[in-house]
Structure 1
Amino acid sequence: MRKRFVKVVLFGALALATTTSFISCKDYDDDIKRIDNEIGQINKSLDELKTSIGNNGIKSVTYDAATGKLTIVDANDKSSSCTIAQNLPEYTIEVVGGKVVLKKGGQEVSSADLPAAAAGFDPAKLTVNAAGEVSYDGVKTGVKVPTSSIAVIEKDGAVVGYTFTINGVEYPFYVADALPLTSLVFKPAAYLSGVEAMKAANLTYTKWAKNAYTLNAVGETWQAPVAAAKASNITPDMVAYYHVSPVGVTMKQISKLVLTADDKDFIGTRAAFAIGDVDLSKCSIEDGLLRVVFNGNSEAIQKIDASKITVMNLKATVNVNGGSKTIQSDYAAIYKTVMKDFVLANAKSTATPDKAHLYGADNKRNLIGKAEDAIKAEPMCEVAYDNTKGIDLKDYVETHYKEFTDTEKTPSEQIGAEKSLTNAQLADYGLKLVYSLSDYYQGEENKTNQSSFAKLNGSVLVASIEGVTEAPIAAVGRMPLVRVELQRISDGEVVNVGWIKVKITRGDVAGLNWTKDCGNFNLSCNDQKYSVQYMEMNINIYQKLGLTKADFHAIYELDVDANGNAKLKATDDGVVSPLTDADADRETICLKWTLTPWDALNAINKKEGKVTATATYKPKNDDSRGNVTITFTAVVNAPSASFDAGSKIAEYWYNSMSGIRINTVVPGTLTNDCAFISDMDNVFVGNKPSFKLNNTASEDFQIKNVTYKYIFASKNEKVEALGNDGVTYVLHVASETLLQAAPKGSAAYKDVAKINQATGEIAYQDNAVAKAILNTYSHSETPFSAKVDVILTNKCNMNLPMTDGEFDAAFLRPVNVFPNTGKYFVDGKDAGSSVKMLDLVYLTDWRDYKFEKTADYDGSTYYNYYGVQSIAIDKDNITCDLNKGNLETQKLAKVTDQIVIDQTGATAHPYGTITYTNNTNNVQAFKVKIPVIVTYKWGTVKTAVYMEIKKTEGN
């Protein structure tokens, strides 16, 4: 099949270059408007045409391009037509000689050059969108082409359909097919030794019979089949299915169907399976599928384990242009199966097949033939007393069976597990279902016949009371029983029997949801209480349900928890309890909602202050009624505070007033032990922060009624910090006052900093982990900091949130070390070349004060104050550029062991001398990098000294 585009071309991946313009013409613009207008009228005509064709199938289709008329003749020789379009221009696009050319009727109307820089035309970049706008590489050219068009669909030169594009949207219209039957393709039901096959079934069973019965409480019983009973059989017509092509073919086009059969690879005298002409009145075509019903001698079908296979094919004679022709199908195998062990099953059950049977068969499939099981069980389905359409019980029934192969050996083998037949398939197998009311009574005294409250019309049951013409409300609660018999169509023999118990209900009564909006309230230290007032209950619940107070509480009960309070959702807040008057028969029963301060605070923290509670009234004994819910809602006004304007001493704050700096005590002031502790109160005016409320709050949250404290903010949790030992540490907020850290992936936490909430002091901790983190960066880089938060707490230990209480506390590294420049070693000197350590490096503290005596301060005492234990070279990691090696990475010891750089007196002031010796040959000048490690009270700091080794003296 192909598409030929006529009158207006449908555009696909086409467009123009980004740097060119598209020259339009007046005729072209007029064409677009006319095309859109004419095609816009097509839909109505097509709808009318489809309606006139109906489902009769298509005999022929013709289209006159000159007049634009489409004519269709259906299988009943009824002719229908509509005018599609005429005299519409045909547009084409060509790419020729580096240009994109638009032609109308073969004549050029406009063109555009491809971009000069383009290596070649790329059709994938040329597009037309649904609005008809032409683009190249995503850039619109300003050109618009027709968005409405007609595509004619042809097959072997015959028009079989059309695709109409209207304003960029396609509407396909497939006019069935103009051709008669062209092929028959067998639809297999199974495969027999790899061959497509259908089955011929033989049904076997032992019949059921009803025992003598009088009205009783346990219902009727039936004589169940016994093994010794004579078996009955059904040999139904066989049914084969064939796909027809084209799908529009109808039975009226077929004048004759013939089935022929053959036995392949068989030697013997047995008569072959034969069929012959097929009764066309039993056959049908629906949705392109031919159903062929036929009768044959099934005993002549070869057994599955025989040395031959029975095959058949179908020949159809069809009328064509006053004559006829024969269409022949492929060959398909046919095999015989035996169907038995029939039971009626619950089509709605999700249980395993053996447990899905209707009452009357236990899960071992031993048919016990009595209604008592159904009577004792829960109803299988329900129907409302006022449902005049009733309930169709056939939707609850399907037939199960077991299938066995027809073999030469015994016993025969079962084919698969238990199988099923839908109700629509039963007739194919000579079976039908018959529905009857089955009487039984309830009540020892009154002996009420439950089935007298229903009426059956075929398989449809409705509630009914004899002599009552209005809706039988008195039938509510009754449970009639229906017997379902699986019968042989030919004589009504009962193949199997089961029962369905139906409950007659009031019908679905909608539930009711009412919300009591309790408004806003301020957080306080007291419980918040709301209640449903008596008039609210009467107006919003009783009245809307059309019930009195007595009726409502007779039908519904509050769904309660173990404490007798309403059972709430997991996300609800507070407690809802019933408010019952001493005389419950006279006064309205209401509900009370109680919210603790902690319920309200939790809602502020997790639900933006929204609090809810939903109490549910459930029907006591009427599943047809929906629940009645009363939902309380309220909003907690969240109080908040902030620092008073001017409370912070600006000069003590850094980074836009967002952080403070913590340092060791200044030498010679408060203490003289290099204590690393700071009173955070001191960064506020008056050495104490002051606060203000930002909104309305209850008396419990007034500033005068709250106290403040410092805590480590939760934002510190899992923050990573690099140690100067190369280890990555992860922070952990162990408590409000304790910040810890551990190597990443470890739980071996060590203290890093502590807060004394009584004094407002924050203190750094003295251990290896804390020191490694502290000494990674100096104050001129990014010192380690912790996030501290200010918490305001009232008398009931509830927090008043701070909008700006969080700040950074940066811990300044107490000591820094820097290399001096201009120092060098000379090779070949007596006793080696030496340099004093304090000539190679110098120290400063967190104020950038050098460790030396000046006119302003005596820094020479700092070595002792900061506990400088040693200033030592890292001998093993000295690197050099000997032999053109990398000065940063090439270790001196790897190049030669004859050049030695060593140190004496590293552990006491002035921390000794570094000496260079060369115990071997002359050497030319080179450089070394010497790592230096300073160990002091709060850890270690490192630097590296770059020194030149001058060549051997005199050489």
Structure 2
Amino acid sequence: MRKRFVKVVLFGALTFAATTSFISCKDYDDDIKRIDNEIGQINQSLTDLKTAIGNNGVKSVSYDAATGTLTIVDSNDKSVSCKIAQNLPNYTIEIKDGKVILKKDGTEVSSATLPTAEVGESFDPTKLTINAAGEILYNGVKTNVTIPKATSSIAAIKKDGVIIGYTVTDNGESSNFYIQDALPLTSLVFVPEAYLSGVEAMRATNLTYDKWTVKSQTVTEKGEIWNAPLSPASNSHITPDMVAYYHVNPVGVTMKQISKLVLSADDKEFVGTRATGFNIANIDLEKCSITNGILKVVFNGNSEAIQKIDASKITVMNLQATVEVNGGTKVVNSDYAAIYKSVLKEFVLANAKDAGVHKAHLYGADNARGLVGKAEDAINAEPLCEVAYNNKEGIDLSKYVETHYTEWTDTDPMKKIGTGDKTIANDKLADYGLKLVYSLSDYYVGDNKTLQSSFFANLKGSVLTAKVGDITEDPIAAVGRMPLVRVELQNAANGEVVNVGWIKVKITRGDVAGTDYPKACGDLKLKCTPETYNLLFDEMNVNIYQKLGLTKEDFHAIYELKSSTTNDSGQKIATLKTGEYGEVVELNDADPNVETVCLAWTVTSADQVNAVNNNNGKLIATATYVPKNDKSRADVTITFTATVKTPSASFDTGSKNSEYWYNNMNNIRMNTVVPGVTPNDCSFSVNVDNVFEGNKPSFKLNNEVSDDFKLDKISYQYIFSDKNNNVKVQGNDGATYTLTVAANGKELYANGTSLVAKIIGNNVEYQQTAAAKAILNISAHDVAPFTAILDMVLTNECSMRLPMTDGQFNAEFLRPVNVFANTGKYFVDATDEGYTVKMLDLVYLTDWRDYKFAKGTSASGVEYDGTGYYTYYGVESIVADIANITTNMNGNNIETKKLSEVTNKIVISQANSTVVGDYGTITYKNNGNNVQAFKVKIPVIVTYKWGTVKTAVYMDVKSTEGN
């Protein structure tokens, strides 16, 4: 008889909630009869049966319809059974020729084509699922075959006439069993450790280390001391077996199906291959295993022949598995994967529970704290973990430990692979020839030298439980003790210690809860004086003493307020959490034997403002009562909360004089003093009050406020808003300037050092620095004048700010002078002494009101005499930028082609550019040949008190006279 092996696969999604039946595999009958006589126990449920089987392979399954007994025999000939329903009907789910077929008592009920083309070996039974409606799905797609609903059933699954598995449902609870050799291996997929030049890869490792040795294990208050290597020379080595991992498909495959594993290797070049010098020894199947669908292959070989990581070739390999199928064998090949050699070193034990980006090392394991190799490092620290004194299962310290290392190339010189530490999980240490060993590390505390480890803790492997001497039942006296455990990372072959660290554990009561009382104090109107809230006697008695089931005397005998300071009255001040506000003091009654101890929470005006600025007005303070001695008791907390209600104001209705405001009442305009108005000096200082009715702003409150914020206690000022910070503006010098505001809000700077404007009193005064001038003159007022944001600041008598909902507005700084080109002016070629044009015929100037620098009439019909504006605005010069005159001569682009680049025979010059009121002339001369008509573009720069303004004049040059 050919034996089949069945294993509990537990396809979690394959839940057959339907009326189905069992199809017996007669090959098992002899075995079942023999082993049924050896049944050791009847389990109470299907879950118990599943647990009893565990991960062992299943050899046989039997069902007694008369008694409802289901019996499973595992690969070790151990028999387990349970009771299920009796006389179940027979259902079969058969997969054949790409179809799923449902049969009852051997008769077909329904069938449908599988939703994919997967037939033959490509069929994967793990993709079969049953939904709550009893519908059979393949790879998540409905097959249109449905099993009738029932709460108990046994069903068989067939593929091409061969039973490949069973599903058992008892009162809605389902378990699945699959015959292993009916599910042959179909594929192997490599699981990469890394990528080498883009190729999936594994590594052959060499571990180097310097061993640690014991210096002293004398029991002292500082604990034991080890000799840690100071200057690593890597004198010790581990060359572990190489380990490769592969996904197996289907996942139910076991090692019993695999009769042989062979690895073959090549060195791959850019073109062609060659036989590698890397020889792989025979694989020992006893060392290989399959767990949760992952095949672990352990092998060794001549690792020195592996191509180096910086070579032009890479060493690759593939796995060939020989499996038994239907009385014969077949070979399944994996994909190719690279293998490289690396060196692992700098091993250190780390805290696996650390939530930081870079996990902290165990105490004593490195020299970051200067206590390398010393248990004292952990003794002086807070416990890493806790265990309740009555926790029979204890705490598994292996969950707090992981191994870190650095990886280096096998090159000369070696180069580090990756950044920072890498990690070896505990269940992979054996792959590297390493292991962890846990031992109690004794030390004593106090003058009476109370031992902490051997007296108060048991350690079995990595699991620690509490004890007191030899007492392990209810070791209450161990509460509060702090045993120490030494963790050694060892060479598994010879026991040499690679690294040492220590874990401090606190033994707690574990079952005494504390309590929290939220003391909600309501809303607080922002004010200049402190506010105090009291936790009253009834709250303390009802919500603390009574809730804990303690008398007042018991409570204060067990607990004390967490505090490190007292006030002038000797009252304890509670230690608050980071980011909390105010001060909580403990109020003791004059007769401590009778009356209640209360608390008082005081928040100052500074606390109130901080809460508004940083916590949306939420005030919080937590007073914590901590156990005095019984440190396992949970804390008792009283949490005070209040919300600061922030006042706000806005401009009173009609306060803004609408005729002085622009852009929907958001902008005001700043300009130099009007000519003829005192002071008649073209100064640029503007009193902002003037844009409000009555030449002074007025305000209104938007909500109820404390007396400290009544309007009769409010003063105002203007500042530059911090919204100006980091704003970038252009200057007409081609530079980009970044604005910043001084801390007091009174100065506006460009690029951090050049003052642009400042506020003195209620006046905004523009400055005459080079940066300020460049920014001011970038554009005219009708284009995009330089604009800064002003902020109205309201403060009360204690300098607390009253926020405004509409306190920010824009100040536009109008360019004082504009320059424009006149039209119709021209040069004539080949005239006597050249052709001369007055500069004031080429351009004309206006001020910020559009008044020309000449006699004229304004747009509103006002007559004015602007001939004196040249002097008033301090016009120093009107200069033609001769060097940058451009032309369209010879078909060139007049915007870019310089006249001097086209010909040196045409000369344009200027005279008397600084004569105020005249500003000289510009003359055209041709010292060469006759020319036809062309055009020139002449840049013109006007320099005046507040900077420079630029324009360009386009002029015709008429052809040579008479030609």
TM-score (norm 1): 0.59
Counterpart residue number, 2:599: 591
Contact 1:241/1:289, CA 8 A, preserved across alignment: no
- 1:99-142 CA deviation, whole Å, 9 max, x = no partner? xxxxxxxxxxxxxxxxxxxxxxxxxxxxxxx9xxxxxxxxxxxx
Counterpart residue number, 2:702: 694
- Aligned residue type for 1:586: V
Structure 2 Cα separation of the partners of residues 354 and 575 of structure 1: 36
Q: Give yes or no for the alignment of 1:682 onto 2:686.
A: no
Stretch of structure 1 that moved more, 692-701 or 893-902: 893-902
Contact 1:820/1:840, CA 8 A, preserved across alignment: yes
Counterpart residue number, 1:847: 849
Counterpart residue number, 1:838: 840
How has the CA–CA distance of structure 1 residues 713 and 384 changed in structure 2, closer, same or farther, with 3 Å as cutoff? closer
- Aligned residue type for 2:892: G
Q: How does 1:445-594 map to 2 (within 5 A)?
A: 505-562=508-565, 565-594=573-602
Q: How far has the Cα of 1:470 moved from its partner? A: 10
Contact 1:442/1:450, CA 8 A, preserved across alignment: no
Q: How does 1:621-770 map to 2 (within 5 A)?
A: 621-743=629-751, 747=752, 749-757=753-761, 760-770=762-772
- Please point out which of 897, 900, 903 is paired with 1:896: 903
Contact 1:738/1:751, CA 8 A, preserved across alignment: no
- 1:354-403 CA deviation, whole Å, 9 max, x = no partner? 979xxxxx9999xxxxxxxx9999999976555566779999999xxxxx
- Aligned residue type for 2:773: K
Counterpart residue number, 2:491: none
Contact 1:650/1:657, CA 8 A, preserved across alignment: yes
How has the CA–CA distance of structure 1 residues 534 and 895 changed in structure 2, closer, same or farther, with 3 Å as cutoff? same
- 1:449-494 CA deviation, whole Å, 9 max, x = no partner? 99999999999998899999996757767899999xxxxxxxxxxx
Counterpart residue number, 1:921: 929
- Aligned residue type for 1:886: N
- Aligned residue type for 1:87: S
Contact 1:879/1:888, CA 8 A, preserved across alignment: yes
Q: How does 1:242-641 map to 2 (within 5 A)?
A: 384=388, 386-387=390-391, 505-562=508-565, 565-641=573-649
- Please point out which of 853, 857, 865 is paired with 1:858: 865
Contact 1:451/1:481, CA 8 A, preserved across alignment: no
Counterpart residue number, 2:825: 823
How has the CA–CA distance of structure 1 residues 155 and 894 changed in structure 2, closer, same or farther, with 3 Å as cutoff? farther
Structure 1 Cα separation of the partners of residues 452 and 717 of structure 2: 79
SS in 1 for 2:527: coil
Contact 1:576/1:615, CA 8 A, preserved across alignment: yes
Q: How far has the Cα of 1:519 moved from its partner? A: 0.4
How has the CA–CA distance of structure 1 residues 851 and 475 changed in structure 2, closer, same or farther, with 3 Å as cutoff? closer
The alignment-based identity, stated in percent, is: 55
SS in 2 for 1:771: helix
Contact 1:565/1:577, CA 8 A, preserved across alignment: yes
- 1:65-112 CA deviation, whole Å, 9 max, x = no partner? xxxxxxx99989999854562433449999xxxxxxxxxxxxxxxxxx
Structure 1 Cα separation of the partners of residues 723 and 90 of structure 2: 78
Contact 2:184/2:250, CA 8 A, preserved across alignment: yes
How has the CA–CA distance of structure 1 residues 550 and 82 changed in structure 2, closer, same or farther, with 3 Å as cutoff? farther
Structure 2 Cα separation of the partners of residues 456 and 576 of structure 1: 44
- 1:788-827 CA deviation, whole Å, 9 max, x = no partner? 1111111111111111011111110011000010111100
Structure 2 Cα separation of the partners of residues 921 and 346 of structure 1: 90
Counterpart residue number, 2:939: 931
- Aligned residue type for 1:592: A
Q: Which structure 1 residue ranges, 5 or more long, are not aligned?
A: 1-38, 62-71, 95-129, 131-144, 164-170, 185-195, 198-215, 219-239, 258-277, 292-303, 305-316, 328-344, 357-361, 366-373, 399-418, 426-432, 484-498
- Aligned residue type for 1:794: N
Counterpart residue number, 1:786: 788
Structure 2 Cα separation of the partners of residues 40 and 289 of structure 1: 21
- Aligned residue type for 2:632: S
Contact 1:712/1:738, CA 8 A, preserved across alignment: yes
SS in 1 for 2:563: coil
SS in 2 for 1:551: helix
Counterpart residue number, 1:905: 912
Counterpart residue number, 2:778: 776
- Aligned residue type for 1:506: R
- 1:190-217 CA deviation, whole Å, 9 max, x = no partner? xxxxxx99xxxxxxxxxxxxxxxxxx99
- 1:736-781 CA deviation, whole Å, 9 max, x = no partner? 45333334xxx4x121111122xx1111112211111100010010
How has the CA–CA distance of structure 1 residues 469 and 180 changed in structure 2, closer, same or farther, with 3 Å as cutoff? closer
Contact 1:777/1:783, CA 8 A, preserved across alignment: yes
Q: Which structure 2 residue ranges, 5 or more long, are not aligned?
A: 1-12, 24-45, 62-71, 82-88, 94-100, 103-108, 118-130, 132-139, 147-155, 168-174, 189-202, 205-218, 222-242, 261-284, 297-302, 304-321, 332-348, 354-358, 366-370, 403-423, 431-436, 487-501, 567-571, 858-862
Counterpart residue number, 1:213: none
Stretch of structure 1 that moved more, 928-937 or 582-591: 582-591
Counterpart residue number, 2:814: 812
How has the CA–CA distance of structure 1 residues 896 and 47 changed in structure 2, closer, same or farther, with 3 Å as cutoff? farther
- Aligned residue type for 1:677: S
Structure 2 Cα separation of the partners of residues 678 and 807 of structure 1: 15
- Aligned residue type for 1:530: Y
Stretch of structure 1 that moved more, 85-94 or 903-912: 85-94
Q: Give yes or no for the alignment of 1:87 onto 2:90.
A: no
Q: How far has the Cα of 1:172 moved from its partner? A: 11
Contact 1:176/1:247, CA 8 A, preserved across alignment: no
Q: How far has the Cα of 1:616 moved from its partner? A: 2.1
- 1:643-689 CA deviation, whole Å, 9 max, x = no partner? 01111111110000001001111111222111111111111111111
Contact 1:615/1:631, CA 8 A, preserved across alignment: yes
Q: How far has the Cα of 1:286 moved from its partner? A: 8.3
What number of residue pairs does the alignment pair up?
700
Stretch of structure 1 that moved more, 921-930 or 886-895: 886-895
Q: How far has the Cα of 1:546 moved from its partner? A: 2.1
- Aligned residue type for 2:560: E
Contact 2:351/2:360, CA 8 A, preserved across alignment: no
Structure 1 Cα separation of the partners of residues 187 and 871 of structure 2: 107
Structure 1 Cα separation of the partners of residues 400 and 953 of structure 2: 93
Structure 2 Cα separation of the partners of residues 724 and 289 of structure 1: 71
Q: How far has the Cα of 1:876 moved from its partner? A: 1.0
- 1:613-645 CA deviation, whole Å, 9 max, x = no partner? 122222222331222222111101110000011
Q: How does 1:188-207 map to 2 (within 5 A)?
A: none
Contact 1:528/1:596, CA 8 A, preserved across alignment: yes
TM-score (norm 2): 0.59
- Aligned residue type for 2:816: P
Q: How far has the Cα of 1:513 moved from its partner? A: 2.4
- 1:184-241 CA deviation, whole Å, 9 max, x = no partner? 9xxxxxxxxxxx99xxxxxxxxxxxxxxxxxx999xxxxxxxxxxxxxxxxxxxxx99
How has the CA–CA distance of structure 1 residues 148 and 515 changed in structure 2, closer, same or farther, with 3 Å as cutoff? farther
Structure 1 Cα separation of the partners of residues 250 and 116 of structure 2: 35
Contact 1:150/1:162, CA 8 A, preserved across alignment: no
Structure 2 Cα separation of the partners of residues 448 and 364 of structure 1: 21
Contact 2:158/2:164, CA 8 A, preserved across alignment: yes
